[in-house]
Amino acid sequence: MSDSIRQLTLSHVVLPLANPVSDAKVLTGRQRPLTEIVLLFVEVTTAGGHQGMGFSYSKRAGGPAQFAHLREVADVAIGRDPSDIDRIYQSLLWAGASVGRSGVATQAIAALDVAMWDLKARRADLPLAKLIGAHRDSCRVYNTSGGFLQASVEEVKERASASLEAGIGGIKMKVGQPDWRTDLDRVSAVRDHLAATPLMVDANQQWDRARARRMCRELEAYDLSWIEEPLDAWDAVGHSDLSQTFDTPIATGEMLTSVPEHLALIDAGYRGIVQPDAPRIGGITPFLRFATLASHAGLALAPHYAMEIHLHLAATYPTEPWVEHFEWLSPLFNERVDIREGRMWVPERSGLGFTLSDRMRALTLETATVGP
């Protein structure tokens, strides 16, 4: 029996970080330290009483724009059958077509798209991964939040040890500083500390092609699981060249905001690891579309951030993925992810398996109701 979307509640949430964090973009003067995460939450309710929850996010800029855009176009979803997710998605795209099909426009739509997938899985009384079709019940997990550049090497080592003791299986640290020798010294110290533990590095787009080739060559000695964003995120040809030149895998894709932008990597012959981010690419619907193409191209997967969403999506990927652990969003939810033995386990709860906390409500700056 069909149902229909009766009401949407949009929430503009600002989550302060306990301490400002810096990656290479800060040390090169391109950005300020990150002090907060801005989120757009959507709660959807149907005429039949079913509910779903989704979110997207922004860092440093764009949060109010996401809220404003979705508030402007969301009414086209009212009265629609929530089972027809892609049909609704296309209607939302066309409602905001004058501002394009990537960036803020699709990141705003992403929050509603995630909520509809959550609703569909809850209505089926299945975890989202099971609704889509899971290949595994858990995924390898690595931590990033302890490896930022404002932290000393000793702090990075201490946080890495704490993460491993908490059951996390891999550690990622930031590189890309103005003095490349400092990067190598820090990587060497952390590699010595971690021994055989999987270790990844992330340059956050701060090398040009010549520096990236030199750094990738130097970093080959450290048995890294991957080198992330050595080049500008939109340099598909450059990333492809590095992925075909070095033994250490190259990883990129987190900053891309549409399926066509990701496809440019495949078209360029990229052979590395793809890191799509569901809230950034426009939601679960386009994420799954690209994941099918990435799998066909034989690419490995390691989704960026938003583990509460990506755990489910990674579990549906045919080959063994990685999931990124950030504890930053945890206060916004009542439930916690299950991490043990180097893996993150898919919740047995229906949908995404998360409900919104009182803390999320307290951090909400503005809400809007769409529908009666």
Gap between the Cα atoms of 358 and 285, Å rounded: 29
Q: Token digits for 7?
A: 């009401």
- Name the residue with tokens 């959550």: 118
- Residue 130 marked as a ligand binder: no
- Residue 228 marked as a ligand binder: yes
The domain locations on the chain are 5-125+357-370, 129-345
**3-class DSSP assignment, residue 353:** coil
Could you confirm whether 120 is annotated as catalytic?
no
Task: Choose the catalytic residue: 174, 239, 262, 325.
Answer: 174
Residue 1 binned pLDDT confidence (cut-offs 50, 70, 90): low
CA torsion sign for 119, 125, 129, 134 is negative
Predicted pLDDT at 35: 86
Predicted pLDDT at 293: 97
Percent of the chain with pLDDT over 70: 100
Could you confirm whether 130 is annotated as catalytic?
no
Task: Choose the catalytic residue: 304, 310, 312, 325.
Answer: 304
- Residue 254 marked as a ligand binder: yes
Same fold, 5-125+357-370 and 129-345: no
Whole-model pTM? 0.94
Please give the average per-residue pLDDT across 181-204, as a whole number: 95
- Residue 223 marked as a ligand binder: no
Phi, psi of 103 (to 5 degrees): 65, -140
CATH of domain 129-345: 3.20.20.120
What pLDDT, in 10s, does the model give residues 138-190? Answer: 999 999 988 788 889 999 999 999 999 999 999 999 999 889 999 999 999 99
CATH of domain 5-125+357-370: 3.30.390.10
Please give the average per-residue pLDDT across 5-28, as a whole number: 89
- Residue 143 marked as a ligand binder: no
- Residue 324 marked as a ligand binder: yes
Predicted pLDDT at 211: 96
